Structure 1
Amino acid sequence: MKYTALLALPLLAAAAPASERSTNPNFSVMSVRSASPIHYLQMNAAGQKFYLGGETASYCPTQVTHCPPGNETVFTPGGGSLDVNVPGGQQVYIDPHGALSFTQAHSANIPAGSAVGPFKYSPDEPWAHYSFNGWGASGFMACPTDDQRWQVFAAINNATVPKGDVDECLGFSALAIDYDGDVPAWQYI
């Protein structure tokens, strides 16, 4: 997705008041934290985790005749799973280390000690938001990685983050951008 399109997304999402938008749509997520390196970055699924920056990682079997593009990450209504075609779907959860994660395709296996919510989609005026408030979290935070991406975690003090220092992480508002297109991916990997 081009950067100009990313900057226009919040304007498009706000074009219709929340009262006119669906209260339970599929959505993608964009981070907002002014004057920071994560401002306006898209949230992407990759390696069974979520990142700000980088690219969405997806897969489609060769026997599928009409594969979705698989180049954007979209959540189903409420944010508890991903919008995919793969049988059984892919559930979203917070792993025991605090990382926002998703299940492998064809598996409902979630590590012991994980949280499957509460995830919340809030159709607030003028922007809709996505959040996690389990474990005393105040939403999400993004933590720097060695590959120039920012891994997404529940905003908790005891998260096990990539560089080992939670103080390097940045809390952010997760804007939920309504998505009404076709299913965007067969499965995320």
Structure 2
Amino acid sequence: MKFSALLAIAPLVAALPGSHSKNSDAPFSVISARSASPIHLLPLNAAGSYFWLGGNAHSYSPVPGVPETNQTVIAGGHFLDVKVPGGQAIYVDPKGALRFTTPHSAYEPAGASDGPFAYKPGASFGHWSYSGQGASGFMACPTTNGTSGYRRSRRGAAAAPKWQVYAALQNATVPSGKVNDCLGFDALAVSVNSTAPAAWEYI
């Protein structure tokens, strides 16, 4: 879908009953914006404890009535929108990779950063950012084999997406070994019109 088309429909989505577009704690999904690049308008997805541009989210539900989803939804700025007890936090690991905690565990490695992450709603699109460790938002880095840190879901999955998401840090340890291979992007936030958690858990 072209960017102009997204801009045209965004106000309609925001106007739907129950929309959370004005609430900074409300759930949202993210798409990348970097014109004339291979990452333009790709969805941000959680899979294998990391975040990617493109592909699908990996979720799991052991509870009848709570469906699995291939969409990644964030709530409260730095948490996945899940129902699993304890929740799942989003953080940046010591290598600079954007990650999420595993279900039933709040473990983050030594040297990890919990933010600050910030979500700012907007009339058409909001914006999600990370400014910890002096970062200037996010960047997408090509993986060396298409599978770095990415695992298959329990139902099986298509080929891993090519772009892994990192904090925009010059000292990040990226898959290719060269930060200059990465592309910075704006994380556009799209309000999610739902009062129920998006998933039981992401895996």
Pairwise TM-score range, normalised by the shorter structure: 0.7 to 0.9
Matching residue of 1:82: 80
CA distance, structure 1, for counterparts of residue 140 and residue 8 of structure 2: 23
Counterparts in 2 of 1:86-105, with a 5 A limit? 86-105=84-103
**Aligned-pair RMSD on alpha carbons?**
2.1
Q: Which string of whole-angstrom CA distances, capped at 9 and with x for unpartnered residues, describes residues 116-137 of structure 1?
A: 0100012245531000001111
TM-score, L = length of structure 2: 0.82
Matching residue of 2:180: 167
Asked whether the 8 Å contact 2:27–2:74 carries over to 1, the reply is: yes
Asked whether the 8 Å contact 1:71–1:185 carries over to 2, the reply is: no
User: Runs ≥4 in structure 1, deviation > 6 angstroms?
Assistant: none
- Quickly say closer, same or farther: Cα 1:177–1:44, change in 2 above 3 A: same
SS of 2:82's partner is coil
Asked whether the 8 Å contact 2:22–2:122 carries over to 1, the reply is: no
For 2:27, give the aligned amino acid. N
CA distance, structure 2, for counterparts of residue 65 and residue 175 of structure 1: 32
Matching residue of 1:185: 199
CA distance, structure 2, for counterparts of residue 66 and residue 5 of structure 1: 34
State which drifts further: 128-137 or 144-153: 144-153
Q: Which string of whole-angstrom CA distances, capped at 9 and with x for unpartnered residues, describes residues 66-121 of structure 1?
A: 122321000003x2100011111100000010011000000010111000010001
CA distance, structure 2, for counterparts of residue 26 and residue 119 of structure 1: 14
SS of 1:167's partner is helix
CA distance, structure 2, for counterparts of residue 164 and residue 97 of structure 1: 11
SS of 2:9's partner is helix
For 2:99, give the aligned amino acid. S
Count of aligned pairs: 181
Asked whether the 8 Å contact 1:9–1:177 carries over to 2, the reply is: no
CA distance, structure 2, for counterparts of residue 184 and residue 125 of structure 1: 22
Structure 2 runs not aligned, ≥5 long? 147-160
Structure 1 runs not aligned, ≥5 long? none
Matching residue of 2:22: 22
SS of 2:89's partner is strand
The alignment status of 1:143 with 2:141, answered yes or no, reads: yes
TM-score, L = length of structure 1: 0.88
Q: Identity, % of aligned pairs?
A: 53
Q: Which string of whole-angstrom CA distances, capped at 9 and with x for unpartnered residues, describes residues 114-170 of structure 1?
A: 000100012245531000001111100000112242111000001011111110100
SS of 2:184's partner is strand
